[in-house]
A and B are shown apart, each in its own frame.
Chain A
Amino acid sequence: MAFTKKRGNTSPEVSTASLPDIIFMLLFFFMVTTVLRDAELKVKVQTPKVTELTKLEEKSLVNYLYIGRPLERYHDLYGTKPRLQLGDKFSSVKDIPLFLEKHKIKVPENRHGQITSSLRVDGDVTMGVVQDVKTELRKSNQLKVNYSAKKRED
């Protein structure tokens, strides 16, 4: 053919050597931005659906309190009554001040006022246990509270 040029035997491959670098860059991005959930849920939490929602902005300023009925595999040990979970263990209301304090020392002092407590409460729980937690939060002067909920589509 007229257009074929003879350039010796080296094949004109595109170098893919830099492809791994690009992929690794993406990989590191995802590895860095991924926040692995630190607490394993031991209670069933199905948050209610509402319309008036506020977004929680900074994760480092939020501590999570879970309230719900224990999962089935914990029924033998903890029964079926709604329980409070702090961090990754079942707790009583009395443990809340220590839990809040433990979170507080990780936050710079000038931002202590911005700490929010996110209450992840199962919708079927009765208010009694929630009320006790609220009272304890008020006693610990943790007044910024966010009732975790999902968006309701109307």
Chain B
Amino acid sequence: MAKSTARQRLRNEINAGSMADIAFLLLIFFLVTTTIVEDTGVQVKLPPWTPDDTSIIMSSRNVFSVLVNADDELLVRGNAISVDELKDYAKEFIANPTANPEFAKKPTNAIISLQNDRATSYNQYLAVYNELKAAYNELWDESAQRNYGISYSEDMPIAMKKAIRAEIPLVISEADPFQYNEH
């Protein structure tokens, strides 16, 4: 065997510098293709299925009936209003600060009855649902501020959240849709 000098031993190394480039290329590929999708939506709890689904529309003071027709128009407790007005109306109805005999006796008695047509657009349906949920969220937040001095959020103490939700329970009853015409 020929004796190798120090210089020759250095030259025998494989140049690993380009390995980093290859890895970088792969890294950039994954960086670009990765889409960190944050999945968000409106959380809903559907009522359990009962075979004889009798939709009882009570015409009592405690029922906040919302009807959405095929043309995406709203009829709330007999009044035609727009979606923008819905939240404040619902809040007033549930909390009833002026003890109006027409509105809910107590927040625990309030029932929201939502009914839509089969031809109602999903956009409108979700917008209405969103407004009703927003009304409750605001009421919960006000209650949290009043009682505990903190804002209502998902990560507040569970006991407080339970107390607030017991005081103002969210009850949205969805009757089967009426059907006129479906495009």
Q: Which residues of A contact B (CB under 8 A)?
A: 9-10, 16-17, 19-20, 23-24, 26-27, 30-31, 33-34, 47-48, 50-56, 59, 62, 116, 118-119, 121-128, 130-131, 134-135, 137-139, 141-151
User: Which residues of chain A come closer than 8 Å to B40, judged between CB atoms?
Assistant: 53-56, 148-151
Q: Knowing A131-B118, A141-B49 touch, does A56 contact B39 (C-beta < 8 A)?
A: yes
A51 touches B120 (CB 8 A): no
**Residue of A at shortest CB range from B35?**
A37
CB distance from A130 to the nearest CB of B (A): 6
A126 vs B44: C-alpha distance in the bound complex, in angstroms? 19
**Residue of A at shortest CB range from B26?**
A27
Chain B 130-170, CB within 8 Å of chain A: the 1/0 string?
A: 10011001000000000000000010000000000000000
| Interface residue? B126 (CB, 8 A) | yes
B23 touches A27 (CB 8 A): yes
A126 vs B39: C-alpha distance in the bound complex, in angstroms? 23
A26 vs B21: C-alpha distance in the bound complex, in angstroms? 13
A9 vs B6: C-alpha distance in the bound complex, in angstroms? 10
A59 touches B39 (CB 8 A): yes
**Residue of B at shortest CB range from A145?**
B44
On chain B, the number of residues with a Cβ less than 8 Å from chain A's Cβ atoms is: 50
User: Which residues of chain A come closer than 8 Å to B117, judged between CB atoms?
Assistant: 127
List 12 additional A-B contacts (Cβ < 8 Å) besides A116-B43, A127-B117, A127-B118. Answer: A23-B27, A30-B27, A34-B30, A50-B130, A51-B130, A124-B121, A128-B118, A128-B182, A131-B177, A134-B46, A143-B47, A148-B40
A116 vs B179: C-alpha distance in the bound complex, in angstroms? 29
| Interface residue? B183 (CB, 8 A) | yes
| Interface residue? B2 (CB, 8 A) | no
User: Which residues of chain A come closer than 8 Å to B126, judged between CB atoms?
Assistant: 48, 50, 123, 147, 149
| Interface residue? B1 (CB, 8 A) | no
A124 touches B123 (CB 8 A): yes
A53 touches B41 (CB 8 A): yes
Q: Knowing A34-B33, A141-B48 touch, does A146 contact B16 (C-beta < 8 A)?
A: no
CB distance from B27 to the nearest CB of A (A): 5
B46 touches A149 (CB 8 A): no
User: Which residues of chain B come closer than 8 Å to A128, judged between CB atoms?
Assistant: 118-119, 177, 179, 182
A55 touches B123 (CB 8 A): no
B17 touches A127 (CB 8 A): no
B123 touches A123 (CB 8 A): yes
